């Protein structure tokens, strides 16, 4: 299979995933305990007001009818209106998604920037004190929940030392990076530990491969052997791991944004679940599912570049 056909087939695989996730989230959102109309009206809502608002929102229709209207609206690009905030869901997502996107991207850059060089140091000093020290530090990352790391960073560096703000989101690019640095570090802490351990194991496996020994026997400089032969092949498994953990990063962003009061889609999702805002819950789940699917596609493309056998 040539690369163009392979890429088209991967794009087409997103469509059934999108449909199945849309169906699942539609059903699960309506299984949430409580009544969204009563939650909107509060304790003072009369039976007549509840019935009137239920009809206005179309919640009095059967589930199959609501499902058909739901998919029809999606195909038309209409994600509906927020029941709690009474504004377009697309407007809400357009305002919040860049925040979560920047936070997730910063966390990935920090995690990879820390994990890759330390994985090399650990692998080249296997079972010696640098390796043991690096693995011990990253073991803390594996065993520490995101919210706990976030609370420690918030208490020490924001509330205590006052080096960073305790929450919020800036206006300029520099201000945004400044506000999101601590949340990104909290989100990257456990992720960097996973990347480091996986890459270290891959480097150790590649270092004993025959083609690496052959490259050394040819007299190629050690630096070229490490970067041209060892790193390229060791990264194949690590790239897959990074792609698989995109969903975990987005899930961790929900907790991180709540701890640091970051106005992203994670915090919006939590607020929408508590208010039983079906349109927002459904739209956010679909958008995040599409983003994760696209992240998997990018991962496969990078893998194909590292190892052309992937597209065969």
How far apart, in Å, are the Cα atoms of 176 and each of 2, 121, 168, 183, 251? 42, 32, 9, 11, 21
Return the bridge partners of 81, or none: 88
Residue 138 pLDDT level (bands cut at 50, 70, 90): confident
Domain spans in the chain, listed from the N-terminal domain onward? 89-311
What is the mean pLDDT of the segment spanning 1-5?
65
Contact yes or no for 211/188 (Cβ under 8 A) = no
Cβ count within 10 A of residue 213: 12
pLDDT for residue 26 is more than 80: no
pLDDT at 181 over 80: yes
pLDDT score of 142 more than 80: no
The residue among 93 and 2 whose pLDDT is bigger is 93
Least confident of 1-5, 110-114, 187-191: 1-5
Phi-psi region of 86 (alpha: psi -120 to 50; beta: other; left: phi over 0): left
> 238: closest CA among 207, 187, 192, 188?
192
- Indicate whether this model's pTM tops 0.75: yes
- Map residue 135 onto helix, strand or coil: helix
169: DSSP letter: -
Counting every residue written for the chain, the total comes to: 312
The two tokens of residue 201 are 């194991």
**CATH 1.10.287.980 assigned to 89-311:** no
CA dihedral 270, 276, 282, 288 (to 10 degrees): 0
Specify the pLDDT at position 35.
63
Most confident of 107-116, 204-213, 250-259: 107-116
């Amino acid at each position: 299979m040539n690369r163009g056909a392979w890429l088209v087939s991967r794009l087409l695989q997103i469509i059934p995933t999108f449909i199945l996730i849309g169906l699942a989230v539609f059903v699960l959102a309506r299984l949430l305990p409580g009544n969204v109309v009563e939650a909107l009206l509060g304790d003072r809502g009369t039976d007549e007001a509840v019935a009137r608002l239920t009809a206005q929102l179309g919640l009095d229709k059967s589930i199959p009818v609501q499902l058909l209207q739901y998919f029809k609206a999606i195909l038309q690009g209409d994600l509906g209106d927020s029941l709690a905030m009474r504004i377009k869901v697309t407007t809400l997502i357009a305002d919040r998604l860049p925040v979560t996107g920047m936070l997730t991207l910063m966390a990935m850059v920090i995690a990879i920037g820390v994990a890759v060089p330390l994985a090399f140091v650990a692998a080249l000093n296997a079972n010696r004190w640098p390796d043991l020290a690096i693995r011990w530090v990253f073991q803390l990352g594996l065993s520490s929940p995101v919210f706990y790391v976030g609370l420690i960073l918030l208490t020490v560096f924001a509330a205590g030392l006052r080096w960073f703000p305790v929450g919020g989101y800036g206006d300029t690019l520099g201000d945004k990076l400044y506000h999101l640095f601590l949340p990104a570090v909290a989100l990257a802490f456990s992720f960097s530990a996973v990347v480091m351990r996986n890459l270290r194991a891959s480097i150790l496996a590649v270092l004993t491969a025959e083609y690496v020994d052959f490259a050394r026997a040819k007299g190629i400089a050690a630096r070229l052997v490490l970067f041209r032969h060892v790193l390229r092949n060791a990264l194949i498994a690590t790239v897959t791991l990074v792609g698989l953990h995109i969903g975990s990063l987005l899930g961790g962003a929900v907790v991180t944004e709540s701890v640091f009061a970051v106005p992203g889609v994670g915090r919006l999702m939590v607020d929408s679940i508590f208010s039983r805002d079906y349109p927002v819950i459904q739209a956010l789940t679909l958008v995040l599912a599409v983003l994760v699917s696209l992240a998997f596609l990018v991962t496969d493309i990078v893998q194909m570049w590292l190892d052309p056998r992937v597209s065969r």
